Amino acid sequence: MRDKATERWSTYEPFFIALGDKKVADIVITNHAKSRYGDRIESGQKSTEEITAWLWECLQNKQMLPYYRKEEDVYLIDDDIVVVAEFGELAGPYQVEGGPLHKMIVVTFLGKMSETIELRDLKSYYSWLRHSRRMTLMKNGRKKK
């Protein structure tokens, strides 16, 4: 074991990252989010571990901020990438001073604002999507009669 060094985690380094009022200790990527990442963010296949490590680094560097001030499900990374995430409490004796720890469940990556202009105002974008889908359904319903 001579000349061998081991890396030791600092006992003072927190094992969670604060994002708003949540203390994120774990990140979960859904299959849908993984496929959307490949389609809309970075072409090519990335493993779930690579995406998770990138998100963790973004959280550490404070690159991930809420899209809207009062809503806690849509986030911006580097003022460009739009991410939808949900939070769940971690089960177990993980209580920390100030509240429980959370896992961030990444639901989907909506895309880059620099490439998709519609993402600049999500509320109007979602209302447009609902309207266009409803009109398509109405059109298809008329054809069947």
**Pair 132, 64 in one domain:** no
Domain that holds residue 67: 1-114
- Return the SS3 of 50: helix
Q: What does each C-alpha distance from 8 to 4, 17, 43, 72, 108 come to in angstroms?
A: 13, 20, 35, 35, 34
Average pLDDT on 26-48 reads 88
- For residues 74 and 76, what is the distance between their CA atoms, to the nearest angstrom? 7
Q: Is the pLDDT of residue 21 over 50?
A: yes
- For residues 14 and 105, what is the distance between their CA atoms, to the nearest angstrom? 20
pLDDT at 4: 42
Please choose, from the candidates 81, 120, 85, 121, the residue with its C-alpha nearest in 3D space to the C-alpha of residue 102: 85
**Pair 87, 144 in one domain:** no
**Pair 18, 40 in one domain:** yes
**Pair 126, 95 in one domain:** no
**Pair 99, 141 in one domain:** no
What is the pLDDT of the chain when averaged over all its residues? 77
Who has greater pLDDT, 27 or 4? Answer: 27
pLDDT at 121: 72
Q: Is the pLDDT of residue 134 over 70?
A: no
Domain count across the chain: 2
Burial pattern 24-57, b for ≥16 Cβ within 10 A else e, equals: bbbbebbeebbebbeebbeeeebebeebbebbbe
pLDDT at 1: 38
**Pair 137, 72 in one domain:** no
pLDDT at 126: 66
**Pair 71, 98 in one domain:** yes
Q: Is the pLDDT of residue 5 over 60?
A: no
- For residues 38 and 40, what is the distance between their CA atoms, to the nearest angstrom? 6
**Pair 79, 145 in one domain:** no
- For residues 29 and 104, what is the distance between their CA atoms, to the nearest angstrom? 8
